[in-house]
Amino acid sequence: MNDEQMAVIMPLIIFGGEAKSSAIEAIQAAKAGDFDKADERIKAANGEEVEVSIYMVHAQDHLMTGIAFVDLAKEIIALYKVIKG
Q: Which of 10, 55, 57, 58 does the annotation list as catalytic?
A: 58
Greatest Cα pair distance, the chain, in angstroms, is 52
Contact between residue 12 and residue 60 where contact means Cβ atoms under 8 Å apart = yes
Tell me the one-letter amino acid at 51: E
58 is catalytic: yes
Task: Find out whether 61 is annotated in a ligand binding site.
Answer: yes
**Which residues are CB-neighbours of 5 under 8 A, at least 6 positions away?**
55, 56
CB atoms within 10 A of CB 41: 23
Binding-site residue numbers are 61
Binding residues for Mg(2+), as ranges, are 61
Instruction: Please identify every residue annotated as catalytic.
Output: 58
